[in-house]
Chain A
């Protein structure tokens, strides 16, 4: 999220990217693990810059022609301009991408619900001086919203249309979406860490309470849920839900949580098909093989 608040929050960087480049975002541990053409092509560049992460420029053959891993807009601009100055387009044959790695393919006729997560209080004030790149990064670390996509299977959509909330969907929401993903990829919950899952859908209104907690008690979330899942003419037309409660602890890849218990809210909203990020594979799919169970 630091790049969004720094380099990608700079009008000059954004304008140049929009005008002169075709832009894509990938996870080295997502696309890089795919067993298909996407994975083969991604592996051509992953690690070529010297680290697994960063900002790369490649040609259509996959050759690395520019790289920087720096949040400062001027560094990113310098790399982009230098690359453009020397860039020569190369013709490369089309790549057959019909056979996609099924682990990363959105199930047919499924529904996408966007989720956002926010820590409402508890972080110490930003220590870095205002106007510095450090301030932007620390501020992003402490105030950014976590984002994720919830995939709802076709059979679960059919259940929602009948006014039912299937257990498989309840558990997916619990295990992979009631998490603190505000500082990166979160750690989900196991079945045994679901201490209480009391959700009811009646007349389009979802109410409930949940209690999630690790065996050692170091990480947990106790929350109330309220929302509206509405259907019309055989379609889910609304999926607005909020979870709000106290979270404590942090995941393996998300250090820096506020100390003790802190208020955490998560919102669910039906995804817009016109959104360019609608087809983004949920990060939880990359992390958990049983996501769609």
Chain B
């Protein structure tokens, strides 16, 4: 075995060893997770969410036909009920 081969094998083993010693981890603690997950839940009392929105204009049309009511359509660039 040449010196080159020995060096290559040692380098490969070192790299593999380093990889094995670096498990996937997160910089977030369980306390961080719990705090952030709670903070990012939408409030229960959002007024706009109390409106019974339809997500399909055809389904809204059917409901309006049965109820004999006009259809209110909020149109936006991007899903108004979902994005932003």
**Of B26, B55, B83, which contacts A225 at CB under 8 A?**
B26
Taking the nearest CB of chain B, how far is it from the CB of A158, in angstroms? Answer: 23
Report how far A23 CA is from B69 CA in the complex, Å.
10
**Of A253, A265, A276, A280, which contacts B40 at CB under 8 A?**
A265
Task: Please determine whether B26 and A52 come into contact, CB atoms closer than 8 angstroms.
Answer: no
Interface residues of B in 42-66 (CB under 8 A from A): 42, 46-48, 50-65
Task: Please determine whether A185 and B47 come into contact, CB atoms closer than 8 angstroms.
Answer: no
Task: Please determine whether B69 and A22 come into contact, CB atoms closer than 8 angstroms.
Answer: yes
- What is the number of residues of chain B that contact chain A, defined by CB distance less than 8 Å? 53
Task: Please determine whether B33 and A22 come into contact, CB atoms closer than 8 angstroms.
Answer: no
Residues of B within 8 A of A200 (CB): 23-24
Interface string of A19-40 (1 = CB under 8 A from B): 0111111111111000001100
Chain A minimum-CB-distance residue to B34 = A242
Chain A minimum-CB-distance residue to B83 = A283
- What is the number of residues of chain A that contact chain B, defined by CB distance less than 8 Å? 90
Is the C-beta of A41 less than 8 angstroms from some C-beta in chain B?
yes
Task: Please determine whether B60 and A24 come into contact, CB atoms closer than 8 angstroms.
Answer: yes
Is the C-beta of B9 less than 8 angstroms from some C-beta in chain A?
no
Residues of B within 8 A of A9 (CB): 47-48
Task: Please determine whether A283 and B26 come into contact, CB atoms closer than 8 angstroms.
Answer: no
Interface residues of A in 120-169 (CB under 8 A from B): 144-149
Report how far A224 CA is from B36 CA in the complex, Å.
12
Report how far A31 CA is from B75 CA in the complex, Å.
10
Is the C-beta of B5 less than 8 angstroms from some C-beta in chain A?
no
Task: Please determine whether B79 and A14 come into contact, CB atoms closer than 8 angstroms.
Answer: no
Task: Please determine whether A4 and B48 come into contact, CB atoms closer than 8 angstroms.
Answer: yes
